[in-house]
A and B are shown apart, each in its own frame.
Chain A
Amino acid sequence: MYNEINPVLNPPSLVEKSGYENKTILGFWVYLMTDLISFAALFATYVVLRNNTFGGPSGKELFSLPFVLVETFILLTSSFTCGLFTLAAQRNNKAQAISWLTVTFLLGVSFLSMELSEFSHLIQEGNGPQRNAFLSAYFTLVGAHGLHILVGLLWAAVSLVMVWKRGITPHIMNKLTRFSIFWHFLDIVWVFIFTIVYLLK
């Protein structure tokens, strides 16, 4: 079903006839939707608890918008390079695919390091997740996204090895397609985090 409506992510040249591709892509989308509901529950939790600071500082006092804006641009750029990686992989251009995936990986690493440095900064100032309900919700929501990024990075690293050793077979192309859907999905979730956690007054 997905194949028919989105030829970009699943070029006809690389689609196996067995229907395996169809099933795994649909299954992965269903999984992503469950993940989306998990995030929805975390967002709801955050929105309910964001004013429960128990005398502690509010988000406005804690977060540095320019810092988060840089983080955001890094992640958006990584999504762009991930797109370039997919296009290269679809052309079966191994060298280009590997380099764009490496760039995506490095951008992901820098995003995650910035996030971790922000976390450690907050914790050092005594504003860790144990301080109040607002900070518990903040660390859990943003941390859950960070954990997904970590999984994505692991996935990217494994994919790099796989493409390096085996080239871009239809079987591997299917895995790479799922990786790129996952990575773009994390981008979208981040846009919501940026809006609701950092921009919302």
Chain B
Amino acid sequence: MSILFGKLTLAALPHEWFTIAGSLSLVLGALGVILLLAYFKRWKWLWTQWLTSTDPKKIGIMYIVVASAMLVRGALDAGMIWLQQSLSVGASQGYLSPEHFQQIFTAHGSIMIFFVTMGFLFGIMNYIIPLQIGARDVAFPLLNTLSFWLYVAGAILINTFFIFGGEFAATGWLAMPPLSELAYSPGTGVDYWIWSLQISGLGSLLGGVNLLVTILKMRAPGMTLMKIPMFTWTSLCSMALVVSAFPTLTIALLLLSLDRTFGMHFFTSSFGGNPMMYVNLIWSWGHPEVYILMIPAFGIYSEVVSVFSQKRLFGHTSLVVASIIITLLSMLVWAHHFFTMGAGANVNAFFGIMTGIIAIPTAVQIFNWLATMFRGKIILHSAMYWFLGFVFTFTLGGMAGVLLGIPGVDFALHNSLFLVAHFHTMVIGGALFGIFAGITYWFPKVTGFKLHETLGKYAFWSWVIGFLVSFTPLYILGFMGASRRLDHYDASQIGWQGLFIVAGFGFVIICFGAALQILQIVVSIKQRKENRDSTGDPWNGRTLEWATSSPPPIYNFAIIPEVTTRDAFWEIKSRQSSNSPLNKSIPPQYNDIEMPKNTAMGIYISGFIFLFGFAMIWHIVWLAVLGLVGAVICVIVRSFDEETEYIIPASEVAKMEAGRANYV
């Protein structure tokens, strides 16, 4: 081991076709972006307007951009998995070695959960929550940029092995020991997995603290807890889960890295280690994590269904209560992921019953949404399509989940493709459809123009049909006994290959849907003049984010609105329509607005932590020390800085508001 490079040697550099292709495309892509920015002289603009911004709206957009890029990476992995499984039967070994195949499905799972779904949701929350609660910012602006940049650092680190070599984990997305221990995974793959998740997980944890305090402390005057809009409510539940579940992930990853780096014996198969303890720790984070992704999606559906039914949300209180119950129950079901551990009938019965009970509050929510539509003036907008598609897929996947929650059934279906089909139904048909609904719904708020409707509907149909074509075969394959993560199967398994090919065909349809979404955005930008929304309220919305212009000014609201009821903006609109001439005649009185200054500290700290993570993977001691000390010094330097905010004078606000009024 050299002092300068640790375990990193020339032999570690990429030398397989898929890592070389990955590294080439990454390097060329990065070069292309750098050259383009230099050519258009946009570096300074990018740095001052975006990268160092503390504006949660800009951070939200950056989250969504990074998550979209990671979605492409995760989808490529999915395509490679399907191709291998369609080809690799009998004498044919497919086009991937088992080792490659394992790395690919591990990367696919980790990326889709940590960097795609989490990224999209944090992006939407950053943008929407301050607007919905009538705030100008989040509680801790620096912490917010730090969370984002830690997420980016993790996202870069998980792709770093393409360039700097080594391999990715070949252990499955939760890296269960003893397989993930040094004895069985001696390469750097598991370390890449550990540190990219550890760093981005830290970002999520800090983001959770931040948004939790934002929602609890920064609501507009008069917005009591039960007047909080549903998306913010569900985000509050989700963030409460983040702060209670992510510490367990941190510890599980820490202990695994202590085993691997310092030769300890938490989860080793000898020296008294206990691998099942890792399984318990990781799933006591992992199950809440599923709900961290799902519950905010429930909030998005609630907003969409209420606005596009032009009706008050049915049973707001019961929706809130159901969300809280789901939040609490999700902490009590983790053992259903390993009924086969052998904990005994009583333990399995407890966790099985708890799992079944979750179906009740979830069903309450579904009935609430359906009852909201009942006798509403339904507008079949594409956001509504995503909601209706979700009701279908989510009910399907939910029932598969209740089935799996029965310990006896689970013993037969454990680790089968039935399980894979179940959780993809939840994550795609539940969380991802919600994200798409949210993006369609809030797009005009962010950009000032609507998305192309027809293309959006085509994209929806491609997604739903593609989804059913690709995952229904997996349910069937699961019943036929196909286990998950198969890189090869025997020719005597009659009917398997056909179903795998159908599933692969479904993947192609999904890709077509994704291509339509990209086309939709391009066409919408081209036709932005026709689709312009000048009112700030294109859907006749009900909550406060529609009360300001699209896109909102940096301070969100020139005058913080007073909230008296739920659906605050609806109330303001109905008041205005009754006495609008009076309202217009009063010139608004503006005050000075205090806003956080931009700061690059989040980038610096994350940069140092990235170096630390990279050094820990390759055992480069000096770099690890440098990364850690650098990060600590940045924090200390920042703590001496008391001038972190600036004032927008009232006259400036008046000028900006007048400008916006002209634009409107």
Interface hit among B58-66, B226-234, B256-264? B256-264
In the complex, what residues of B have CB within 8 A of residue A33's CB? 243-244
Whether, in the assembled complex, B266 has its beta carbon less than 8 Å from a beta carbon of chain A, the answer is: yes
* Top 3 closest pairs, chain A to chain B, by CB: A52-B272, A133-B272, A136-B264
User: Shortest Cβ distance from B594 into chain A, in angstroms?
Assistant: 8
Whether, in the assembled complex, B216 has its beta carbon less than 8 Å from a beta carbon of chain A, the answer is: yes
Contact A48 B277 (CB under 8 A): yes
Interface residue from A24, A133, A154 paired with B632 (Cβ < 8 Å)? A154
Whether, in the assembled complex, B212 has its beta carbon less than 8 Å from a beta carbon of chain A, the answer is: yes
User: Shortest Cβ distance from A28 into chain B, in angstroms?
Assistant: 9
Contact B251 A45 (CB under 8 A): yes
Check A49/B251 contact, CB under 8 A, given A34-B246, A132-B272, A171-B642: no
Given contacts A41-B251, A42-B251, 15 further A-B contacts (CB under 8 A): A27-B139, A27-B213, A34-B243, A37-B244, A37-B248, A38-B248, A45-B251, A49-B266, A49-B277, A52-B274, A130-B262, A133-B268, A133-B272, A136-B264, A140-B258
Contact A136 B639 (CB under 8 A): no
Closest Cβ neighbor of A162 among chain B residues = B640
Whether, in the assembled complex, B180 has its beta carbon less than 8 Å from a beta carbon of chain A, the answer is: no
In the complex, what residues of A have CB within 8 A of residue B246's CB? 34
Contact B210 A27 (CB under 8 A): yes
Q: In residues 15-36 of chain A, which contact B (Cβ within 8 Å)? A: 18-19, 22-24, 26-27, 30-31, 33-35
Contact B213 A136 (CB under 8 A): no
Interface residue from B205, B263, B272 paired with A134 (Cβ < 8 Å)? B272
Contact A35 B247 (CB under 8 A): yes
Check A137/B266 contact, CB under 8 A, given A27-B139, A34-B246, A45-B277: yes
Closest Cβ neighbor of B214 among chain A residues = A23
Whether, in the assembled complex, B209 has its beta carbon less than 8 Å from a beta carbon of chain A, the answer is: yes
Closest Cβ neighbor of A133 among chain B residues = B272
Give the A-B pair count, Cβ closer than 8 A: 105
Residues of A within 8 A of B (CB-CB), count: 37
Whether, in the assembled complex, A158 has its beta carbon less than 8 Å from a beta carbon of chain B, the answer is: yes
Contact B281 A34 (CB under 8 A): no
In the complex, what residues of A have CB within 8 A of residue B274's CB? 48-49, 52, 133
State in angstroms the CA–CA spacing of A52 and B255 once bound together. Answer: 16
The 10 listed contacts between A and B (C-beta, < 8 Å) are A23-B140, A24-B140, A26-B217, A33-B244, A41-B252, A49-B272, A52-B273, A52-B274, A131-B271, A136-B265
Whether, in the assembled complex, B86 has its beta carbon less than 8 Å from a beta carbon of chain A, the answer is: no
In the complex, what residues of A have CB within 8 A of residue B272's CB? 49, 52-54, 132-134
State in angstroms the CA–CA spacing of A38 and B201 once bound together. Answer: 13
State in angstroms the CA–CA spacing of A52 and B247 once bound together. Answer: 25
Whether, in the assembled complex, B345 has its beta carbon less than 8 Å from a beta carbon of chain A, the answer is: no
Residues of B within 8 A of A (CB): 139-140, 143, 205, 209-210, 212-213, 216-218, 243-244, 246-248, 250-252, 254-255, 258-259, 262-266, 268, 270-274, 277, 281, 594, 632, 636, 639-640, 642
Contact A38 B263 (CB under 8 A): no
User: Shortest Cβ distance from B261 into chain A, in angstroms?
Assistant: 11
State in angstroms the CA–CA spacing of A143 and B331 once bound together. Answer: 28
Contact B218 A38 (CB under 8 A): no
Whether, in the assembled complex, A145 has its beta carbon less than 8 Å from a beta carbon of chain B, the answer is: no
Whether, in the assembled complex, A152 has its beta carbon less than 8 Å from a beta carbon of chain B, the answer is: no
Whether, in the assembled complex, A129 has its beta carbon less than 8 Å from a beta carbon of chain B, the answer is: yes
Closest Cβ neighbor of B243 among chain A residues = A34
Closest Cβ neighbor of A56 among chain B residues = B272
Whether, in the assembled complex, A175 has its beta carbon less than 8 Å from a beta carbon of chain B, the answer is: yes
Contact B212 A30 (CB under 8 A): yes
Contact B216 A41 (CB under 8 A): no
In the complex, what residues of A have CB within 8 A of residue B258's CB? 129, 136, 140
Q: In residues 134-160 of chain A, which contact B (Cβ within 8 Å)? A: 134, 136-137, 139-140, 154, 158
User: Shortest Cβ distance from B644 into chain A, in angstroms?
Assistant: 10
State in angstroms the CA–CA spacing of A45 and B251 once bound together. Answer: 10
User: Shortest Cβ distance from B264 into chain A, in angstroms?
Assistant: 4
Closest Cβ neighbor of B268 among chain A residues = A133
Contact A38 B209 (CB under 8 A): no
Check A22/B265 contact, CB under 8 A, given A30-B209, A133-B274, A140-B258: no
Contact A132 B265 (CB under 8 A): yes
In the complex, what residues of B have CB within 8 A of residue A31's CB? 209
State in angstroms the CA–CA spacing of A195 and B376 once bound together. Answer: 61
User: Shortest Cβ distance from B268 into chain A, in angstroms?
Assistant: 8
Closest Cβ neighbor of A27 among chain B residues = B213
State in angstroms the CA–CA spacing of A23 and B632 once bound together. Answer: 23
Q: In residues 81-139 of chain A, which contact B (Cβ within 8 Å)? A: 129-134, 136-137, 139
Contact A41 B247 (CB under 8 A): yes
In the complex, what residues of B have CB within 8 A of residue A23's CB? 139-140, 213, 217-218
User: Shortest Cβ distance from B166 into chain A, in angstroms?
Assistant: 24
In the complex, what residues of B have CB within 8 A of residue A140's CB? 254-255, 258, 264, 266
State in angstroms the CA–CA spacing of A53 and B273 once bound together. Answer: 9
In the complex, what residues of A have CB within 8 A of residue B632's CB? 154
State in angstroms the CA–CA spacing of A30 and B246 once bound together. Answer: 13
State in angstroms the CA–CA spacing of A162 and B24 once bound together. Answer: 49
Closest Cβ neighbor of B281 among chain A residues = A41
In the complex, what residues of B have CB within 8 A of residue A22's CB? 217
Contact B636 A158 (CB under 8 A): yes
In the complex, what residues of B have CB within 8 A of residue A154's CB? 632, 636
Contact A129 B139 (CB under 8 A): no
Contact A34 B205 (CB under 8 A): yes
Q: Which of A35, A130, A134 is packed against the most chain B CB atoms within 10 Å?
A: A130
In the complex, what residues of A have CB within 8 A of residue B248's CB? 37-38, 41
Q: Which of B139, B265, B281, B632 is packed against the most chain A CB atoms within 10 Å?
A: B265
User: Shortest Cβ distance from B464 into chain A, in angstroms?
Assistant: 38
Q: Which of B250, B268, B272 is packed against the most chain A CB atoms within 10 Å?
A: B272
